[in-house]
Amino acid sequence: RLLELADELDRARSPEGTAAHVTPRRRGERPLLLVADDERDAREVLSQVLEPEYEVASAADGQEALDLARAEHPDVVLLDIAMPRLDGFEVLERLRHDPATADIPVIFVSGRGDDAVKVRSLDLGAVDYLQKPFSERELRARVERTLRLVRSQTALRELAQTDALTGLANLRAFRARVDEEVKRARRYRTPLTCVMADMDNLKPINDALGHAAGDRAIAAVAAVIREELRETDFGARYGGDEFVILLPHTTGEEGHVFAERVCTRLHETVLEVSGERVPLGASFGVACLPEEDGDDGGADALVRAADAALYVAKRAGRGRVALAAAEPRASASAG
């Protein structure tokens, strides 16, 4: 659990991470707004207006606002301009230069109304500018508009990183994630295992029942894989009928157990297409990142090792799991 907490903290603060992979602080709860203003009365007014619909945190100066944004990753920041320690412009610039906070939307809330200030705010990356005094209705409308924009952008980003057929991540998302996970495993000296999976006998399904049936078989295999993933695991469609899985905090032997479990479940799963029973199956290659941070090629070498192990499993008779640098062992499903 301590390693998982460290991992979450690293996701939020590491400059090597990407905002796209920051884990949401809460799921299924009200959006979190961060209100930053050096005037106590102003903070209290904003909080009273927003708290019926949102969770609200507050900061009394720019540095406190920056620290809270990095720690809590709020859904929206409402930022005053004139504040001690760091003014609003400085806070916004630092948020934008940190990949972990670069995508947090900022609305400036200030008594200054000259065009030069508004233009500079927008040039720095603020999504909106609200001038004091303002009505409660206007404040709520600006916040809700910003949240809708964020939801739309998040949906588009997820769509761009998701394979349409399987619902797993696509190859582009995997390439970004594997580099991130390798760096994290090196930093904390924790194991990281990669599993490559390739469906067995997809061509006969396509030849006998058509490519639509083959697509259903691919989607069914992906569904079994997805059901076996933990929250910290990452599964992607590597291409065609190949899949790749990242298992953080998992040794090669533990990854072998995972692959055996998926292999067995696939063997026990039968897909029905147009009255025909279509058996499912796959072969698996498992590789663990070397413990020493040497000249091993990092992410590319890890994937190559898993792919080489997959080739060994295929040559050994399919429906099997092979661990890199070890002889393949027949899975329970292979009999």
Q: Are strands 234-239 and 128-131 parallel, antiparallel or unpaired?
A: unpaired
pLDDT at res. 206: 85
Q: Is residue 173 pLDDT above 70, yes or no?
A: yes
pLDDT at res. 292: 64
Mean pLDDT lowest among 38-47, 285-294, 324-333? 324-333
Quote the radius of gyration of the chain (alpha carbons, Å).
25
pLDDT at res. 220: 92
Domains of the chain from N-terminus onward: 2-160 (3.40.50.2300), 171-334 (3.30.70.270)
Q: Is residue 1 pLDDT above 80, yes or no?
A: no
* pLDDT tier at 195, thresholds 50, 70, 90: very high
Question: Among 3-12, 92-101, 236-245, which range has the highest average pLDDT?
Answer: 236-245
Q: Is residue 128 pLDDT above 50, yes or no?
A: yes
Six token digits for residue 69: 């944004």
Taking every pair of C-alpha atoms in the chain, what is the biggest distance, in angstroms? 77
Cα torsion for 326, 187, 21, 52, to the nearest 10°? 130
pLDDT at res. 279: 85
Q: Is residue 13 pLDDT above 60, yes or no?
A: no
> What share of residues in the chain are helix, strand, coil (percent, to 5)?
50, 20, 30
> If residue 247 lies in a helix (H) or strand (E), which one and from where to where?
strand 242-248
The rounded mean pLDDT for the chain is 83
Average of per-residue pLDDT across 58-68: 91
pLDDT at res. 148: 87
Nearest to 148 by CA among 31, 36, 52, 18: 31
**Cβ atoms of residues 256 and 331 within 8 Å:** no
* pLDDT tier at 294, thresholds 50, 70, 90: low
CB under 8 Å to 314, separation ≥6 — which residues? 198, 283
Rounded CA gap, 110 and 36, in Å? 11
Rounded CA gap, 231 and 209, in Å? 35
Nearest to 243 by CA among 334, 171, 323: 171
Q: Is residue 134 pLDDT above 90, yes or no?
A: no
* pLDDT tier at 182, thresholds 50, 70, 90: very high
pTM higher than 0.85: no
Q: How far is CA 312 from CA 105, 244, 317, 327, in A?
A: 49, 16, 9, 8
What residues act catalytically? 241
